Amino acid sequence: MNKIKRMIKTTYFGKLLISYFHCIESRILPRIISDEKAVRLYYYRKTGKKLDLNSPKSFSEKLNWYKLNDKKQLMEKCADKIDVREYVRSCGFGSCLNDVFGVYSKINDIDVRKLPSKFVIKAAHGSHMNIIVKDKKEINWFKAKLMMQSWLMQDIYWSGREWVYKNLKKRILVEKYLEDESGELRDYKFFCFNGEPCYMQYDCGRYSGRHIRNYYDMDLKLLSIQDSMTEMVDVGLPLEVDSFKKMKNIAKTLSSPFQFVRVDLYLVKQHIYFGEMTFFDGGGYSGFDEETDMEFGKKWKLI
């Protein structure tokens, strides 16, 4: 059964089917299940435990408390992959923004002929909605349009009530294709608690068939942390101390108004690029073992 589920999630038609199914659910479930009940159900499905909203202690518990109890307008702006660019500029990091080829509310407005041979398509109002185009001559534009159309119909907040996505404009963003010396794009994700970067998640091999994820503290010490979705192998960190310090400063500045946010950055030819800001890591479920989940939770002082 698990093999079948994995196959569905990794094939084009499986992804498309799931996407349209989510469109239907997103219109029905919010009408019949309250935010608090939905958050409790989401947490129970993921952990098999009851959610303590009165005295949350673990990282996962606090993420779900966060959904219900802290709704700064700036969070909504920073969750939008287009509007967040204004915030990044206002913090003095405009040079970290990737080039944008276009922003679209209608799929038919995208003229592929005017785009370069390589580019990346993203939905501005959600996560895990992207198409990486390394050669536009090879893209099946009919399939791509169907997928993008499903994105424009989705409200991804519905399941775990990630409210920051609820009222976002549904738009498609086309960006410059970035690639580092690995032939892919390695991620440097900073977990920031109360305006302080505390941990860095390093992802490599995401698209090569062997996705490795390591975690480091702010002294660049490799931590023995294993989540439920990826492999941990000490592959070495291709990051110089100066670049790390610059990244840490960017993450600290961008995260300063928030109780928690994960700031994602990239490094290409020693140039730092901004990726995104995520307020509910893993949708509200860390995937960590219980000890790590508690350690991350201790870093976060609820306000």
pLDDT on residue 205: 86
261 in a structural domain = yes
Q: Which tokens in the block code for residue 180?
A: 């580092």
The set of residues, in sequence order, having a beta carbon less than 8 Å from that of 113 and lying 6+ positions away, is: none
Residue of higher predicted confidence among 241 and 28:
241
Query: Which uninterrupted H or E stretch holds 30?
Result: helix 12-32
Question: Structural domain tally of the chain?
Answer: 2
48 in a structural domain = no
**How many C-beta neighbours within 10 Å does residue 301 have?**
9
Above 50 in pLDDT, residue 293? yes
Confidence of residue 137 (pLDDT cuts 50, 70, 90): very high
pLDDT on residue 70: 96
Find the radius of gyration of the CA atoms of the chain: 19
| CA–CA dist 246, 270 (Å, integer) | 11
Say what the pTM is.
0.90
pLDDT on residue 211: 85
For 265-287, write each residue's pLDDT tens digit: 999 999 999 999 999 999 999 88
pLDDT on residue 6: 55
Residue of higher predicted confidence among 283 and 22:
283
CB 175 within 8 A of CB 119: yes
Same domain as 291, residue 240: yes
Looking at 44-48, 235-239, 259-263, 281-285, which range is the least confident one?
Answer: 235-239
How far from 16 is each of 68, 89, 114, 141, 193, CA to CA, in Å? 30, 35, 26, 14, 36
- What do you get for the CA distance between the two ends of the chain, in Å? 43
Same domain as 193, residue 282: yes
46 in a structural domain = no
pLDDT on residue 125: 94
Mean predicted confidence (pLDDT) in 4-13: 58
216 in a structural domain = yes
39 in a structural domain = no
CB 220 within 8 A of CB 234: no
Same domain as 190, residue 109: no
Same domain as 192, residue 88: yes
Confidence of residue 229 (pLDDT cuts 50, 70, 90): low
Confidence of residue 233 (pLDDT cuts 50, 70, 90): confident
19 in a structural domain = yes
Instruction: Return the DSSP state at 94.
Output: G
Same domain as 223, residue 131: no
% of the chain exceeding 70 in pLDDT: 94
Residue of higher predicted confidence among 201 and 29:
201
pLDDT on residue 230: 67
Above 60 in pLDDT, residue 2? no
Residue of higher predicted confidence among 26 and 166:
166
| CA–CA dist 299, 289 (Å, integer) | 16
47 in a structural domain = no
The set of residues, in sequence order, having a beta carbon less than 8 Å from that of 11 and lying 6+ positions away, is: none
Looking at 13-17, 177-181, 281-285, which range is the least confident one?
Answer: 13-17
| CA–CA dist 193, 281 (Å, integer) | 12
Above 80 in pLDDT, residue 56? yes
pLDDT on residue 1: 43
Confidence of residue 228 (pLDDT cuts 50, 70, 90): low
pLDDT on residue 113: 93
For 69-95, write each residue's pLDDT tens digit: 999 999 999 999 999 999 999 999 999
Same domain as 232, residue 87: yes
Residue of higher predicted confidence among 160 and 198:
198
Which residue range is the domain that position 74 belongs to?
58-97+180-303
Above 90 in pLDDT, residue 96? yes
Same domain as 289, residue 226: yes
What CATH code is carried by the domain that includes residue 270?
3.30.470
